[in-house]
């Protein structure tokens, strides 16, 4: 089923322009996102081919089947709740039956999690982006050997440095476990020209290996030193390196360039939504109402333009989170929506739609 099928069969209950144009934070080049609610034909709803959601290829036009819409609204999903309070100038079409679905039917203290916790997650995401921008990972990946250290007196030095100073190649060395000491190895050296001791080196493949390599050591050989492999450090590095280059591959090029251009090292659009969501959450807690069109467009667009320092925005956001917590603690909102009442509205709406009301 496609969106054009919903239109052709007159199945749409509600359709609206969403996103920045509904928030009032759109710019001249902003996309026009559409969201809506539809009702499946009765036979398809009763049969085996239930369709919960229909979207276009770019996912900027999304329509929820009525039951799926209600399920998400009961969970206080922000994207779905915002549809119920869409500004009048953004409503494309509204079936009379959709009037039964009012924000007050769904708003509850669950919004503390769905709005504010999501915003907090975006703050963490912004911190992560800040870290990635300020601490880029070089394309060349470090090896296990970069996390190995060799004892030198009462201290230690990087294994590569020790080898260089000793005039040795890693292939001349062999490692053996030191009993009872995790990730500490006795390091043996074969200085014979023909490598008669048969040591296997420190690692199997300097670029691909994820561990040191052990060798069979002839009885009576004395270790030249002891080598420690910082396994935890290597594991952490590999995760950070992988996450960084995954981010480079998947990042939104336009938003990244905007971040670089304003020079504040945070995703400005991301931080705009942090404040939008937190402010909406506070309004829901204090007034029991949902305001989609934001009254502070100028402030939010200043964030988007990168006019604020990153640390200042994070501090303001954290203070706003504390206010949101206090507001919900004192709020008269129910702990969660009245499921039975919502279900009754859902059933009656579907029955009337199928009856042609």
pLDDT tens for 10-65 read 999 999 999 999 999 999 888 899 999 999 999 999 999 999 999 998 889 999 99
pTM for this one? 0.66
Reduced to 3 states, what is the DSSP secondary structure of residue 91? strand
Instruction: Label residue 207 by pLDDT band (50, 70, 90).
Output: confident
* 1 CB-near residues (< 8 Å, 6+ apart): 51, 54
What mean pLDDT is predicted for residues 228-249? Answer: 89
Count CB atoms within 10 A of the CB of residue 195. Answer: 11
pLDDT tens for 168-196 read 999 999 999 999 999 999 999 999 988 89
β strands within the chain, DSSP E: 12-18, 33-38, 53-55, 61-65, 91-94, 148-152, 155-158, 173-177, 184-189, 225-229
Q: What CA dihedral angle connects 122, 124, 125 and 128, to 10 degrees?
A: 160
**H or E stretch including 227?**
strand 225-229
10 Å CB burial of residue 267 (0-12, 13-18, 19+) is: buried
Q: What CA dihedral angle connects 193, 198, 204 and 205, to 10 degrees?
A: 20
- Orientation angle between helical segments 231-250 and 118-134, nearest 10 degrees: 100
pLDDT tens for 80-112 read 999 999 999 999 999 999 999 999 999 999 999
pLDDT tens for 110-164 read 999 999 988 888 777 666 555 566 667 788 889 999 999 999 888 899 999 999 9
Tokens of 210: 């994820």
- Locate the domains of the chain by residue range: 1-101+337-357, 107-136+252-334, 144-232
**Which CATH code is given to the segment(s) 1-101+337-357?**
3.30.460
Q: Cα–Cα–Cα angle for 116, 122, 123, nearest 5°? A: 90
d(CA 216, CA 290): 71
**H or E stretch including 343?**
helix 339-354
Residue 23's alpha-carbon distances to 26, 292, 295, 356, in angstroms, are 8, 6, 9, 34
């Amino acid at each position: 089923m496609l969106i054009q099928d919903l239109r052709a069969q007159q199945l749409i209950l509600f359709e609206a322009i969403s996103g920045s144009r509904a928030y009032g934070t759109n710019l001249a080049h902003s996309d026009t996102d559409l969201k809506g609610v539809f009702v499946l034909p009765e036979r398809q709803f009763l049969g085996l081919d239930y369709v919960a959601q229909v979207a276009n290829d770019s996912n900027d036009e999304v329509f929820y089947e009525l039951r799926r819409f209600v399920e998400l609204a009961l969970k206080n999903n922000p994207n779905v709740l915002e549809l119920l309070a869409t500004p009048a100038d953004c409503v494309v079409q509204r079936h009379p039956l959709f009037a039964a679905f009012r924000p007050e039917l769904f708003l509850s203290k669950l919004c503390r999690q769905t709005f504010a916790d999501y915003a907090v997650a975006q703050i963490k995401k912004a911190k992560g982006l800040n870290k990635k921008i300020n601490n880029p990972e070089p394309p060349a990946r470090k090896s296990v050997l970069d996390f190995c250290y060799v004892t030198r007196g009462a201290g230690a030095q990087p294994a590569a440095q020790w080898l260089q100073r000793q005039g040795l190649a890693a292939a001349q060395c062999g490692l053996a476990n030191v009993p009872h000491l995790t990730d500490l190895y006795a390091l043996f050296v074969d200085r014979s020209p023909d490598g008669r001791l048969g040591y296997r080196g420190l690692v199997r493949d300097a670029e691909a290996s994820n561990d040191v390599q052990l060798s069979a050591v002839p009885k009576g050989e004395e270790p030249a030193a002891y080598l420690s492999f910082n396994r935890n450090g290597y594991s952490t590095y590999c995760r950070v390196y992988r996450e960084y280059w995954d981010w480079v591959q998947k990042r939104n090029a336009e938003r990244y360039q905007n971040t670089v251009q304003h020079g504040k090292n945070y995703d400005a659009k991301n931080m705009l939504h942090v404040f939008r969501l937190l402010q909406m959450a506070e309004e829901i807690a204090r007034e029991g109402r949902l305001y989609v069109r934001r009254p502070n467009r100028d402030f939010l667009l200043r964030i988007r333009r990168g006019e604020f320092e990153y640390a200042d925005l994070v501090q303001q956001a954290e203070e706003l989170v504390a206010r949101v917590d206090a507001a919900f603690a004192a709020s008269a909102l129910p702990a969660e929506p009245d499921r039975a009442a919502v279900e009754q509205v859902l059933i009656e709406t579907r029955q009337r739609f199928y009856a042609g009301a």
